Structure 1
Amino acid sequence: MPDRRTALTPDALLMMDAIARTGSFAAAARELGKVPSALTYSVRQLEDALDVLLFDRRSRQAKPTAAGEELLAEGRRLLAEMDAVANRVRRVATGWETQLTVAADGVLSRLTLLELCEAFYALRPDEAEQGPGTRLRLRTEVLAGTWEALVSGQADLALGVPLESAAPGIEIAPLGDLPFVFAVAPHHPLAALPEPLPDDAILRHRAVAVADSAQRLSPITVNLLPGQDVLTVSSMQAKIEAQLRCLGCGFVPEPLVRDHLRGGRLVAKTVQRQRRQVRLGYAWRAGAVGSRRQAPQGLALQWWLQQLESPATRRALLERHCGLPSDVD
């Protein structure tokens, strides 16, 4: 029987992850470049070493048992920690991170984010032919999901978090104010009512809401009335499209719908409980609290933070949604 320690290798954990994700031994074998029989043998070796059954083989799909689910969860955590260790080692050696993950709220400008990526990839450290070698990963989050991505270690930089957010070891700086307007399609019943719209009038009509992407933190619900019918969508862009189709009403960021308001495709209405501007910030991890040996801040993160010091960059992230020329530094 294989020893438990020698059986729990990174390859074994990656194999478990591939089987669970693809749903079958055959599909996982194709992904890993192995024959199914070899994969089946490896799983049996792992089960023998741990003295547990990891997959329920009674159905066509490879469904993890309770023990298998536990190994999957812990295995994915260990693999992430291994990647983080490798990242920190490389950062200490070269100054550049292996990977930098940026989590951005869906209300921010995708155009500006991609322009920042272009500028980053154009860097030539020490006049080398290639860029810094840091892989960039962009995540789109909603409401508390942006903050959760940072504090859970899934992101290195979070853009568009509430400015009042706070956590040990997290630095936060102001990004800017984002104005919201209450908008409806011109043929929506609320469009013809006198202003300001009272809550009882709004309550009679469906609202469109964007689902918070947080998985562990308490999700945020904004500007929904108790008892109001709600259509929930996955992104701000989907919310705007739903309101253009007269599927509901609600508050939307003014920069994202500016062209629709000018073109008459949406109508802004004042309401009695007018929403104020939302103050957004950007945040990053400053390092482990109380750590005696703290690795220096990576050069990739330093570069992004330097760009965010520019008022033009911060303004573009909040306002540039209509394909207008950008003045990002």
Structure 2
Amino acid sequence: MIPLEALQALDAIDRKGSFAAAAEELFRVPSAITYTIKKLEEQLNIKLFDRNKQRAKLTPTGKLMLEKGREILRQVQQLEAQAQQTETGWESHLRIVVDTIIPCEPFWPLLNELKQQQPWLHIQVIDEALSGSWEALTADRADLIIGVSGDEPAGANCQRHCLGHLRMQLCCNPDHPAAQLAQPINREQLKDFTHILVNDSASYLPQRNVGLLGIRQTLSVSNLQQKVSALCHGVGISHLPSYLADPMFETGQLVHLDTGAEHSFNPFYMSWKPSQSGKANDWLRKKIIEEQVLAHLLS
């Protein structure tokens, strides 16, 4: 097995330019560095340095050992940092589901700040929809879910915090036949139009069929961005959150379909399992609440 001290010596020799300078950096005598390199060469039956010249130069084998050795040294450093991090209550991984109805943009500054504090923390941001967000938490594929709606699954053993309410508005392309109807529109008149729906990403939890009652034609998409694109291309009609719909009403890309009913204001939550929540999870939730990062989207 290759000792780490040999890889450290090889790295220092290359960076400092000589065995003597490497020895000074590693707080060892030059003869100890020479012995470490010689022992490694004998152990593996290889030649790391060409000593026929005035100054020892790395051989092709030595260059390979240096390159791969530095990768190992970096991994060891990361392992040490992650072990110390975990010992103090900081997770090594944080998996965050942001439901497709909520944009990720408000969270990037917070995640960047968190990474500055904990450089070795691996953060994964995952896109889910509807019950798929709850499923990710209950199946331990996520540590924190943001923008989830509806009731938590039975036996989930999680806590949740209400982030606010999202106003949903029915809309379509200005050239769509639905836009030509006299308003307020009778809901019966809309049943024969194609309704664009975001597909529930859940695999085993019951999927939620939001707004499907009485609808005859549907087109399913994977996320909110695809829904917006389909609406803009006149494929059908659908509900959009106000933070997306209102600017598009102003520019004329979409029009509001008034059915005479009151707008729906749906509560949205973030949820987590207290038994599995570490310091990174706690820090992020606290920041989201204190800085009200979704206040401009939710009421």
TM-score after normalising by structure 1:
0.61
How big is the shift at 1:157? 0.3
Please list the CA deviations of residues 155-199 of structure 1 after superposition, one character each: whole Å capped at 9, or x if unmatched.
Answer: 000101126436442010111111110001111111121222112
Matched-pair contact (CA < 8 Å) for 2:191–2:215: yes
1:222 to 188, 191, 210: 210
Identical pairs, percent: 25
Query: SS state of the match for residue 90, structure 2?
Result: coil
1:306 aligns with 2:286: yes
1:107-145, Cα deviation, whole Å (9 max, x unpaired) = 11221122222121122xxxxxxx342100000110111
Aligned partner of 1:179 among 147, 151, 167: 167
Larger Rg: 2
User: 1:188, 1:246 within 8 Å by CA — same for their partners in 2?
Assistant: yes
Query: 2:109 is matched with which residue: 109, 112, 115?
Result: 115
> SS of the residue aligned with 1:169?
coil
Partners of 1:142 and 1:212 within 8 A in 2: yes
Matched position secondary structure for 1:174 = strand
2:230 equivalent to 1:242: yes
Q: CA RMSD in A?
A: 2.2
1:259 and 2:253 correspond? no
CA 215–317 in structure 1, closer or farther in 2 if over 3 Å, else same:
farther
Name which of 173, 179, 191 aligns with 2:179: 191
Aligned residue type for 1:313: V
Structure 2 counterpart SS, 1:312: coil
| Residue pair 1:109, 1:317 contacting (<8 A) in 2 also | no
Structure 2 CA distance for aligned equivalents of residues 137 and 146 of structure 1? 14
The within-5 A match list for 1:22-61 is: none
Paired with 1:168 and 1:225, the residues of 2 have a C-alpha distance of: 28
- The code of the aligned residue for 1:137 comes to Q
Contact 2:166–2:297 (8 Å) recurs in 1? no
Q: 2:267 aligns with which of 269, 274, 279?
A: 279
| Match status 1:203 vs 2:191 | yes
Correspondence 1:97 to 2:91: yes
Superposed CA deviations along residues 262-303 of structure 1, whole A, max 9, x for unmatched, are 101100111155551110010000117xxxxxxxx4111111
Q: 1:313 aligns to what SS in structure 2?
A: coil
Name the counterpart of 2:140.
153
Contact preservation (8 Å) 1:163, 1:174: no
2:126 aligns with one of 139, 153, 158: 139
Question: Structure 2 unaligned runs (5+)?
Answer: 1-81
Distance 1:91-1:168 versus aligned 2 partners, 3 A rule: farther
1:50 equivalent in structure 2 = none
SS at structure 2 position matched to 1:216: coil
Counterpart of 2:134 in structure 1: which amino acid? W
Does the aligned pair in 2 maintain the 1:211–1:233 contact within 8 Å? yes
Where do 5+ consecutive residues of structure 1 fail to align? 1-87, 124-130, 289-296, 320-329
Check whether the contact 1:91–1:298 (CA below 8 A) recurs between aligned residues.
Answer: no
Whole-Å separation in 1 of the counterparts to 2:216 and 2:263: 18
Q: Tell me, in whole angstroms, the C-alpha distance in 1 between the residues paired with 2:83 and 2:275.
A: 15
* AA partner of residue 137 (structure 2): L
For 1:212, the aligned partner's letter is D
Aligned pair in 2 of structure 1 residues 227, 111: CA closer, same or farther (>3 Å)? closer
